Amino acid sequence: MTEKMRAVVYLGPEQVELRSLPIPKPLDGELLVKVRAAPTCGTDVKTYRRGHPKFPPPFIFGHEFGGDVVAVGKGVVAFREGMRVTANVFAECGECFFCKRGQGNLCVNLVYNFGAFAEYMIVPASIVQRTTFEIPPHVPYAHAALLEPLVTVVHGWHKVAIRSGETVAVIGAGGPISLMFIQLLLRSGAGQVIAIGHSPARLAVAGQLGATHLINAKEQDALMAVRELTQGFGADVVIECAGTKSTWESSVETVRRGGRVLWFGGLPGDTKVEIDAARVHYGEIDLFNMHGGTAEDAREAFDQIVSGVMNVAPLLNGEFPLESVELALQKMIAGEVVKTVIRPDS
């Protein structure tokens, strides 16, 4: 193995650079992985545009990956060189106030892991221990790499607890998160799944995966369209996946009285959201928020990919080398693709 690797380094908003860097060595409990596939993600897009609150630049970009273990740190017993692996982007400590209450996603010692847009990356010890998985031979690297977004979807899916026959509206449909949600909603017995988005190409994928109604919010009033489909009442459940102030607010208007809203898409710090307090209070509307997922959610998500319960293939649209990471992100921003796969060894 050479001493240098190619890696895409994030320098600031809309500034990335391909650099030659030393290949890191795994410390105790860590893995060194040769990255075979690294899908682009909505978080990558947000980071590209405005930075990341937990990672000051410069840092190696990307966080979803599938690859081969090429070196093992001291003390690692569950993994060995040559294994095909993927991992969640973070893992809890298992010992803090929140972990002991089953809320590992809120862990005060949460360890994050970036660095997938590179030929090699380190998997930190706590992630190796709790949320790293061996990829079976029948699962492609890129499919297994979709573990991280599915972990968050599984976490949110459990929160809203869909009941048989319910109508669910998904705002921001067509992105990878929404497309995973659509599959789990149908699996839970949802009667109608209304996909609301802006990209015709992405909405078409939502339809292929089972959405019963497609609403292009650029062409029609989404709120009125949902009410027409629900006898004027609104959806039983609204899942907001767009991550904008306006969609957070409109989701409360789209749900029926007695319904449930899941605000999935994150907003920048200090964002103030205006909602009709009387509608929420007297209408008994439940508002759910979420962040990430637990190690238990990660195991469930991985099992869904391996078993084929979650069809991830339609979410991956094209492959690019490290030199084209910026182009791949621009295609996501333009709504031309759902996700793309970065192949560091291509």
Would you state the pLDDT for residue 269? 85
Sign of CA dihedral 45, 205, 162, 104: negative
* Domain boundaries, given as residue ranges, for the chain: 4-146+312-342, 151-289
Q: Which pTM was predicted?
A: 0.95
Would you state the pLDDT for residue 53? 80
Identify which of 67, 54, 40, 32 has the alpha carbon closest to the alpha carbon of residue 111: 54
Q: What is the CATH number of domain 151-289?
A: 3.40.50.720
pLDDT in tens, the chain (346 residues): 579 999 999 999 999 999 999 999 999 999 999 999 999 998 899 899 988 888 899 999 999 999 999 999 999 999 999 999 999 999 999 999 999 999 999 999 999 899 999 999 999 999 999 999 999 999 999 999 999 999 999 999 999 999 999 999 999 998 999 999 999 999 999 999 999 999 999 999 999 999 999 999 999 999 999 999 999 999 999 999 999 999 999 999 999 999 999 999 988 889 999 999 999 999 999 999 999 999 999 999 999 999 999 999 999 999 999 999 999 999 999 989 999 999 998 8
Would you state the pLDDT for residue 52? 84
DSSP string, 158-224: HHH-PPTT-EEEEETBTBHHHHHHHHHHHHTT-SEEEEEES-HHHHHHHHHTT-SEEEETTTS-HHH
Six-digit token pair at 245? 């102030």
Residues 6+ apart with CB under 8 A from 8: 16, 17, 18, 19, 60, 61, 62, 117, 118, 322, 325
Judge if 4-146+312-342 and 151-289 fold alike in CATH terms. no
E strand segments, the chain: 4-12, 15-22, 31-39, 59-60, 66-72, 84-87, 90-91, 111-112, 120-123, 132-134, 167-171, 192-197, 213-216, 235-240, 255-263, 286-289, 316-320, 339-342
Q: Which CATH class is domain 4-146+312-342?
A: alpha beta
Would you state the pLDDT for residue 339? 95
Asked if 66 and 37 count as a contact pair (C-beta separation under 8 A), the reply is yes
Would you state the pLDDT for residue 159? 96
